Chain A
Amino acid sequence: MNAMNDIGAVQTILPKAPKCVSAWRSAAMVLAIGAAACFSMPEQLGLLTRIFVTALLVLSLDLVVGVAGLATLGHAAMFGVGAYAAGNFALHVAPDPLVGLAIGMVAGGVLALVSGLFLLRYQGFTFLMLTVAVSQIMLSLAQKARDWTGGDDGLSGFMNSPLLGRFAFDLEGKVAAGYSLIVLVVLFYVARRLVDSPFGLAVRGVHENRARMAALGTPVFRRLLAVYTAAGLLAGAAGALSAQTNAVVGLDSLSFALSAEILVMLVLGGAGNLNGALLGAAIFTMLHHTASSINPYHWLFVVGFLLMAVVLISPAKALALLRRRLGGVQ
């Protein structure tokens, strides 16, 4: 009897082992929330589609910034290249959206791989500035290559064939919203698996402490290149979705402003856990939409204040304040 009590005591003393959240459960949650939003706001499908696409792009950024710990201001480069690749593919080769999506992913992934071979030899501020340089180079190339990008007029005039040969892209945007949501959910699931795998753990380890990882025998450069390429694939997918659902690709898809904006979204939602990326993208895009319809000139003020609030007030403090307001116990 005594012995049994002892065992019970030991088990209660030992804290629970760390455990990852199940990947399919979090993906199912995203699907449920996204679908609920689509059904409850059928007149806002355009906005929701934009949120899904932006969320995928911020998710990709989270792999680089939050997971691998590499601050970048050039992430739009992979997005824009994916968008132009998908647009050109639809215009010149075939209008199938899924093949176009794959082409966009490959384009983003290849750019990440090639630029990463050079960029990832640097860290910190040097890396940050070089990512800006790479995206600016891509932007100038896009401005010059008018035949492929339409220059300042943008690339347009391409259409999508029906999805899987059955679902034609309608004017209300039902198919576009459903398609973007499903791509987001699938790639979110993939990203979740990636982050919770031994590979993801090693990349997070590099974020935490490079010297430690090198001392454990991690090929640091190769791991970072792999995660950067994976992020490029996701950003390319977001670009392709953007091209297909808007039927136009502009130079702004490669702009510095977009790179900075998605970083703001990531900070807003919280970097490093993937869920925050989706949350930040949703909040920012909705806020942008609402604030700019109230005042098209000064909506950035709202975003500015919000960002200051996020940086200055820690989530713990905000939660405590909220609890006090709601009369809950501390």
Chain B
Amino acid sequence: MSQLLEVRGLDKHFGGLHVTRNVSFQVAAGERLALIGPNGAGKTTLVNQVSGVLRPDSGAIYLQGEDVTPRSQAQRVRAGLARTFQITTLAPHFPVQRQVELALFEREGLTGRAWRSIDSYPALQAEALELLERLGLRAHASVATQDLAYGEQRLVEMALALALRPKVLLLDEPMAGVPKGDGARLLAALDSLPRELGVLIIEHDMDLVFRFASRILVLAEGAVLANGTPDEIRRDPKVRAAYLGP
């Protein structure tokens, strides 16, 4: 399997706090890697370094074999790395459809165009609606994003990431805060992610993690505690002691 994303020896301090300690891992095409660990283990900080929000103190990040460590977040997105946020990060007043269209304009490199109306790109409009249809949001296309139920906003997060047609997708707690009953559509969306996509997912719901992931990376106090298949992780005594419990 070819490695889409490779992280080598990532290290990061916040003042005196050592939040990422020499973390290395890889995500191959089609792989579902889950990142788990107790609160404060440094999961989101790690994702922020991979996506380019934060710069690591040392270490390197490779996307399809290319070193993207010095690149900006925007450049990494264009190289095929998309993410969702743990805390819903959307344009609250935009109609859902506009929000997705914006992601499509961005993917096609059209947001430098300042004359033609956004209504005169029918192909992208159709693609936005088709994507919303797939995620069960078609009926809400013209609703302001802030008026959606929380679980649906989480789906919009996913729609925006998918609209970018990424090669690697970072999902930061997609189920966080979603009531149990509303989770089914999100689970269905996770299951219907494109096969060839490499996915790195942070999640606290262990049922979901063990069902969804093909490999699991356990983080504790900023360092990698274990890295293996779900079965290996389930049996690992260190992981049981630190996180999963007996």
**Which residues of chain A have a CB within 8 Å of any CB of chain B?**
13-20, 23, 193-194, 196-202, 204-205, 208-209, 211-212, 214-220, 223, 226
Contacts and interface: CB of A to CB of B under 8 A. Distances in A.
Contacts of B75: 217
Interface in B38-76: 51, 53, 72-75
Contacts, number: 118
Given A208-B93, A219-B72, A220-B74, 8 more contacts: A18-B97, A198-B105, A216-B77, A217-B74, A217-B78, A217-B106, A219-B74, A226-B114
B202 interface: no
Contact of B98 (A16, A23, A201, A218): A201
B138 interface: yes
B110 interface: yes
Interface stretch (B2-10, B115-123, B203-211): B115-123
Given A209-B91, A217-B164, A219-B74, A193 B117 contact: yes
A197 B98 contact: no
A14 B115 CA distance: 29
A19 B142 CA distance: 9
A18 B111 contact: no
8 contacts: A18-B98, A197-B117, A198-B121, A199-B111, A201-B101, A211-B85, A214-B53, A217-B73
Given A205-B94, A208-B93, A215-B83, A15 B117 contact: no
Contacts of A194: 114-115
A215 B77 contact: yes
B143 A197 contact: no
Contacts of B143: 15
Nearest to B83: A215
Contacts of B93: 208
B106 A202 contact: yes
A211 B89 contact: yes
A198 B142 contact: no
Nearest to B121: A198
B164 A198 contact: no
Contacts of B85: 211-212, 215
A198 to B, nearest CB: 4
Given A201-B98, A208-B93, A211-B89, A20 B119 contact: yes
Contacts of A204: 91, 94
B114 A197 contact: yes
Contacts of A14: 138-139, 141
A201 B128 CA distance: 15
